[in-house]
Amino acid sequence: MPENNESADKTHFGYKTVSADEKAGLVKGVFDSVASRYDIMNDLMSGGLHRVWKRFAIDQAAARPGHRILDLAGGTGDLALEFATQVGSNGEVVLADINYAMLEQGRRRLIDAGVAGNLSIAQVDAENLPFEDASFDRVTIAFGLRNVTDKNAALASMYRVLKPGGKALILEFSKPLESIKPLYDLYSFKILPVLGKLVADDEDSYQYLAESIRMHPDQETLLGMMRDAGFERCRYNNLTAGIVALHVGYRI
């Protein structure tokens, strides 16, 4: 059962039931472990498709010069890097993540790319964002919501910091078509952990990845959660037969 239906003091870490307080530390351990190989593993485990999925999300965001954008769970900064170019010198991008090791990787990438001036980095908890109400034109989160303990709190926080007319975009693994599910499960539980062991020397973290995807709310459930948080004109696009979905909602 997805985490949004669980009791306040219990949640899932993959298939394990843990206390809500415990999950944050366990997720931190996963990303501390994989941070230095995160981008390499993304390319390997998706066959490069993660770049196509993120490109679609960036295009749907339709950022304009002067916009202020919050990229949550932004990790190594691939979305933030593109947004910083799009918003220009009069705009601002905040690369945010709860994990310091991931932000360090992102900071290095952005420095290497020569990005400065309109981009800042913040270590934040998506469930309780430390930003003023109605302060961003766009809020994005790519492959991060499933790791949040209280997804409803995160959605409410994202809604709060959006300006009227602003748009939230959630790119996340979702429920694929039934026709590909056997092959997808085989890859997820047999091949992906082996890749994690060989490339990142961390089989357990990629086992968690496969399990966390299965525990994440499916497309329609997440759509309902967004509406409950106050978002309007909510919709989603399935990508690669529903392996990934992009959810979009507005603050009107």
Does 13 reside within a domain?
Answer: no
**Residue 184 CB partners (closer than 8 Å, separation 6+):** 176, 243
Does 199 reside within a domain?
Answer: no
Q: Is residue 56 within 8 Å of 239, Cβ to Cβ? A: yes
> What's the confidence (pLDDT) of residue 233?
98
> What's the confidence (pLDDT) of residue 85?
94
> What's the confidence (pLDDT) of residue 8?
55
Please tell me the distance from the alpha carbon of residue 247 to that of residue 238, in angstroms, as a whole number: 9
Note down the domain range covering 144.
27-178+205-250
Residue 116 tokens read as 């400065």
pLDDT tier, 58 (very low <50, low <70, confident <90, very high otherwise): very high
Please tell me the distance from the alpha carbon of residue 147 to that of residue 173, in angstroms, as a whole number: 11
Could you tell me which residue, 124 or 43, shows the higher pLDDT? 124
Does 18 reside within a domain?
Answer: no
| Pick from 102, 96, 167, 81: nearest CA to 131 | 96
Could you tell me which residue, 5 or 180, shows the higher pLDDT? 180
Does 32 reside within a domain?
Answer: yes
121 has pLDDT over 60: yes
Does 38 reside within a domain?
Answer: yes
Element (H, E) at 28: helix 20-34
2 has pLDDT over 70: no
> What's the confidence (pLDDT) of residue 130?
98
Domain count for the chain, please give it.
1
Residue 238: how many CB atoms within 10 A of its CB? 15
Does 57 reside within a domain?
Answer: yes
pTM for the structure as a whole: 0.90
Q: What is the CATH number of the domain that holds 91?
A: 3.40.50.150
Does 187 reside within a domain?
Answer: no
> What's the confidence (pLDDT) of residue 144?
94
Q: Is residue 181 within 8 Å of 245, Cβ to Cβ? A: no
> How many Å separate Cα 14 from the centre of its chain?
16
Please tell me the distance from the alpha carbon of residue 121 to that of residue 107, in angstroms, as a whole number: 8
Please tell me the least confidently modeled range out of 58-72, 164-178, 184-198, 225-239: 184-198
SS3 63: coil
Does 191 reside within a domain?
Answer: no
> What's the confidence (pLDDT) of residue 33?
75
**Count of residues for the chain?**
252
Mean pLDDT of the residues in the chain: 91
| Pick from 70, 88, 64: nearest CA to 161 | 70
The residue to which tokens 């530390």 are assigned: 25
Percentage of residues of the chain with pLDDT beyond 70? 96
**List of E strands, the chain:** 10-13, 16-19, 68-72, 92-97, 119-123, 136-142, 162-173, 232-239, 244-250
Could you tell me which residue, 59 or 5, shows the higher pLDDT? 59
Query: Taking residues 1-22, what's their average pLDDT?
Result: 70
> What's the confidence (pLDDT) of residue 49?
95
- Tens of pLDDT, residue by residue over 145-195, are 999 999 999 999 999 999 999 999 999 999 999 999 999 999 999 998 888
Percentage of residues of the chain with pLDDT beyond 90? 67
